[in-house]
Structure 1
Amino acid sequence: MTVKIDTYYDFRSPYAYFADYRARNADFGLAVEVEWVGRPIFIDVILNLQSGREPWAPYVDTLIPPKRAYLMADIRRMARFYGAPYKPSWKWPNRPNQIPALCIASLLSGRAEEVFRSAIFDGLWHEQRDISDPAVLREAVARAGGDPAVVEQAADPGVRDALTRRTVEAYANGVFGTPTFVWNGEIFFGADRLEVLAWKVNRAADE
C-alpha cells in the first residue's frame, strides 16, 4: 500500500529542510509506503496574502527582535535535535534567490522532483552552494535524471505566473506556511508534526 501525501515547501525555510531531511532519513513511525508529492510554493506570496497585500508586493519583515533571536536559536537547536547537517554559507536574512529553483521544481514530477528538491535543500542548508547559480541548478536536475534544459524553460515568466497561481490556490485551501503536509484533506504544519501525520495514516491503514 502506497499513500500519497502532498508536501508544500519552499527552499528558504529551514523547517522545510528539516522535514525533507527527516522524510529521507528518519523513522517516525509510518507503517506504509509513502509518496511525498512535492508542491513548491512561494512563501513571500503566502506572507503577503496573509497581510492583505498583493501576491508580489515588496517583502515586509514582520519579525520583532525577540522573535528573530528565538528563531535563530531554535533553528540551530532543531538541527542538532534532528541530526540534520546545518552549515549555510550566507548570513540571515541574505539568502540566495530561491525563485529559479522553485520554478524548476514546479516543472518536475515524481522521482525527479523529489531528488531535485532534496539536492537544493542540501545545497542551500549545508553544502554551501549558491542555489541561484544556473550551473548548480543544471547539476541538480541532471542528478535527478531530468533534462538540464528545464533550467532555461523555468526562466519563462509564464512558469512563475503559474506557480504564483498555484500558491494563491494553496493559500485559499488552508496552506499558510511551509512545510505543510496534506493527507486525506487534513493539514499538518511543521517538521515536528510528522509523527502525528504518521499516526493518522497508520490508524487509517488499520481500519
Structure 2
Amino acid sequence: MPTIEYVYSAHSAFAYLGSRELMQICADHNATLIHRPILLSPVIEAQGGLPFRRRTQKHVDYFFGREIERWSEFRSVPIMCKRPTHHDADYSLASGMIIALGETGALTDAMAHALLEAHWCSDADLSNRSALVEIATGLGHDAAALLEKAASSYVQDKLQENTDWARERAVFGSPTYIVDGDPFYGQDRLELLKRALVKPFGAPSWSNPSVS
C-alpha cells in the first residue's frame, strides 16, 4: 500500500484547493495519507522564501487573486473572492485539532478539509475557539475534549516537530506531498503525484552549479 506524506498548513489556500482531489487520489490508489500539519512561515523562511507580509502588493494580489480564481474554477472548488480576514491569526490550535485525531484515517482527513474549507469559504478565524468548536461539533466530535487535547503540550510539541521535520527536508511551502522521499510541491503537482503512485519517477539527475 503506497503512502503519501501530506505537509501543509491548516490555513493554506492551495492545500484547500487540492484537498478533495488528494482524497480522491488516495481512494483510487488505496494510498495511506499521513498528515503532517506545520507552521508555515518558519518553513518558508528556512528556504529563503518571504512571508506574505514582506512580499510586494502585486505578488500578494496575484497569489490571493488570479491564481486562486483559476484553480478554483479548474477544480470546481468554491472559494471566497478575497483573502480571509484572519489569515494571519495563530492557527496552532486548529493544527492541534488535526494532530489530536492521529496521523492517518477518515476522521483526520475530514478535520483537515473542514478547517481549510471553513477558512476559505466562510472566512472562519482559525484562532477563534468558538469557530473551532463549531467545526468540531459539526463533524460529530466532543469539541471540548478535542480542543483540550489539541492545546496539550504533547500535541503542540508534535506540531513543532512537524515544522522542524519539514525544514530539515527542505520543504518549500504548503502543500507538499512526499512519496517514497520524492517531494511534489503545490496542488498543481497532483497529476504528477498520481503518476508517481503508479510508476515512480527516476532519481534526480539534474542540478544547478554552485552560485557564488
TM-score, normalised on structure 1? 0.80
Cα distance, 1:142 vs structure 2: 4.1
The match for 1:85 among 73, 78, 84 is 78
Letter in 2 for 1:34: A
The size of the alignment, in residue pairs, is 195
| Aligned pairs for 1:183-198 within 5 A | 183-198=179-194
| Identity rate, percent | 25
On the 8 A contact 1:4/1:183 being kept in 2, the answer is yes
Q: Does 1:105 align with 2:101?
A: no
Q: Does 1:14 align with 2:7?
A: no
Q: Supply the RMSD in Å over aligned alpha carbons.
A: 2.8
2:121 is matched with 126
The alignment partner of 2:34 has SS state of: strand
Cα distance, 1:91 vs structure 2: 4.7
TM-score, normalised on structure 2? 0.78
2:59 is matched with 67
2:156 is matched with 160
The alignment partner of 2:31 has SS state of: strand
On the 8 A contact 1:9/1:39 being kept in 2, the answer is yes
1:181 is matched with 177
Per the alignment, do residues 79 and 150 of structure 1 end up closer, same or farther by CA in structure 2, a change over 3 Å counting? Answer: same
1:33 is matched with 30
On the 8 A contact 2:176/2:185 being kept in 1, the answer is yes
Cα distance, 1:43 vs structure 2: 0.1
Provide the rounded CA distance (Å) in 2 between the counterparts of 1:150 and 1:29.
Answer: 26
In the alignment, structure 1 segments of 5+ residues that lack a partner are: 53-58
Provide the rounded CA distance (Å) in 2 between the counterparts of 1:10 and 1:74.
Answer: 18
The alignment partner of 2:36 has SS state of: strand
On the 8 A contact 1:112/1:145 being kept in 2, the answer is no
Provide the rounded CA distance (Å) in 1 between the counterparts of 2:62 and 2:9.
Answer: 21
1:55 is matched with none
